[in-house]
Homo-oligomer: A and B are copies of this chain.
Amino acid sequence: MTYYLVFDIGGTSTRCALVTQRGECLALASSADPGNPLAGGTDRMVAAVAKAALTALEVGRVAADGIGGFLMAVAGGTEAALEAAHARLRGLGITGRRLDNPGGDGLAAFAAGTWRPTGYALVAGTGAVGMRVENGTPAAVSDGLGWLLGDGGSGFWIGRQAVRAAIGDLRGECRPTALTRLVLGRLDELTGRKLSLAPRPQAAGGLLAAVYEMPPANLGRFAPLVFELPDDQTAQSILAQAGRALADTLRTLVVESAPPVLVLAGGVLANHPELGAEAQGVLDEMAGEVEVSVARDGLVGAAVLALRAAGTQVGPAEFRRVQTSLARLRGPTATPSPSSGQASSRPRRAEKSAPAESEES
């Protein structure tokens, strides 16, 4: 039996699965270490990858020299960072060849939502990126520029808008919003800084100063608050703008020749697929009735890409096997589990942190 190690490396967690050549996932390791080299630097990414790999091998009881290959799906990874991570795995005595992922986390997200080889992925998690995939390889990419330059409609982007709205409210520039109180509460959780709502101009100044003292990526932690207020006009306006930004990201990718297959992925879209409705409308208008799926776990895509890179055909049956075996490892709170008769040998799980699918992931 040949085994593969596959990685889903995001802004707030690093996860690794041990998968067989048939697509059966045998072990899952997950930690809250940010692996995204743009967020935490290459050294932290390399350390998180090594830790996740060793844990998956230990949990799956597979020797380091029994691995046939490894594949990484990483948001914003440079070739240098990827090569450093692969070098560390080799340094740990993990055998096998590097299986190239030609499309980063965008391609993995697409492959996590459908076995089809051609269509579109729209990903909004900590960051946001769109991709047109043709025959299993990326044909065009849109946005994915990271928090400083782009990521319109991402968790970072939504969180930043929430903070802006709170400052605008406190200054009396914008309409009052229930976000303000929630934003100050989250700031307290993140930084221990308690700001009183009154006097309001001082609260605005204090919030502004506190945000600049945090790591910028923390702005994404304010995003979930916006989804808590279905009756708040400001919160709903932020979500509408986010949906529009995501639709813009998809729009530049659409061509007539590709079938209207759309995968929505990333923590924000997986938890709130309604945010992709406007993007779906764009595709519907330009290319006809859309087949939409929601990809809740980028590791499924990483496994699918690894199998394909290693020469295994992945059709609906293999896709479903990857999906259900991983869902079983994730546990009862995740996507619907398969009937127990399909259980494979030795499914094991080593979750070391918050749920794998948090709103911020």
Residues of A bordering B, CB below 8 Å: 38, 78-79, 140-142, 145-146, 148-150, 160, 163-164, 167, 171-173, 205, 208-209, 211-212, 216, 219, 252
Q: A209 is contacted by which of B78, B142, B252 (Cβ under 8 Å)?
A: B78
Closest to A142 in B: B173
Taking CB as reference atom, which chain B residue is nearest A141?
A: B171
- Chain B nearest CB from A87 CB (Å) reads 18
- A148-B211, A149-B164 in contact; A205/B140 too (CB < 8 A)? no
Q: Are A167 and B142 in contact, CB atoms less than 8 angstroms apart?
A: no
Which residue in B142, B148, B212 is a CB contact (below 8 Å) of A146? B212
Of the candidates A163, A173, A205, A212, the one having the most CB atoms from chain B within 10 angstroms of its own CB is A212
Query: Known pairs A145-B167, A150-B164. 8 more at Cβ < 8 A?
Result: A141-B171, A145-B208, A146-B208, A148-B212, A148-B216, A149-B211, A173-B252, A216-B216
Q: Shortest Cβ distance from A254 into chain B, in angstroms?
A: 13
Q: Which 5 A-B pairs have the closest CB atoms?
A: A78-B209, A38-B212, A149-B164, A148-B216, A173-B252
| Min CB–CB distance A44 → chain B (angstroms) | 14
A161 to chain B: closest residue by CB: B149
Inter-chain CA distance A79–B202, complex, in Å, is: 10
Copies in the complex: 2
A-B contact pairs, 17 of them (CB 8 A): A79-B205, A140-B172, A140-B173, A141-B173, A142-B173, A145-B164, A145-B167, A145-B208, A146-B212, A148-B160, A148-B212, A148-B219, A149-B163, A149-B164, A149-B211, A150-B164, A216-B216
| Chain B hits for A164, CB < 8 A | 145, 149-150
The reply to whether A78 and B205 form a contact with Cβ atoms under 8 Å apart is yes
Shortest distance in angstroms between A238's beta carbon and chain B's nearest beta carbon? 14
- In the bound complex, CA of A173 to CA of B249 (Å): 11
* B-chain residues with CB within 8 Å of residue A142 when the two chains form the complex: 173
Closest to A160 in B: B149
Residues of chain B contacted by A212 (CB below 8 angstroms): 38, 146, 148
Which residues of chain B are near A149, meaning CB under 8 Å? 160, 163-164, 167, 208, 211
CB of A11 to closest CB in B, whole Å: 13
Chain B nearest CB, measured from A163 CB (Å): 6
Could you tell me the distance in whole angstroms from the C-beta of A282 to the nearest C-beta in chain B? 16
Which residues from chain B contact A205 at a C-beta distance below 8 Å? Answer: 78-79
Q: In the complex, what residues of B have CB within 8 A of residue A79's CB?
A: 205
Bound form: Cα–Cα A311–B142 in Å: 58
CA distance A205 to B78 in the complex (A): 7
Q: Cβ of A167: which chain B residues have Cβ within 8 Å of it? A: 145, 149
**A167 smallest CB distance to B (angstroms):** 7
Task: Output the least CB separation between A165 and chain B (Å).
Answer: 11
Report the separation of the CA atoms of residues A75 and B339 in the bound assembly, to the nearest whole angstrom. 62
Set of chain B residues within 8 Å of A145, measured between Cβ atoms: 164, 167, 208
Whole-angstrom CA separation of A208 from B141 in the bound complex: 14
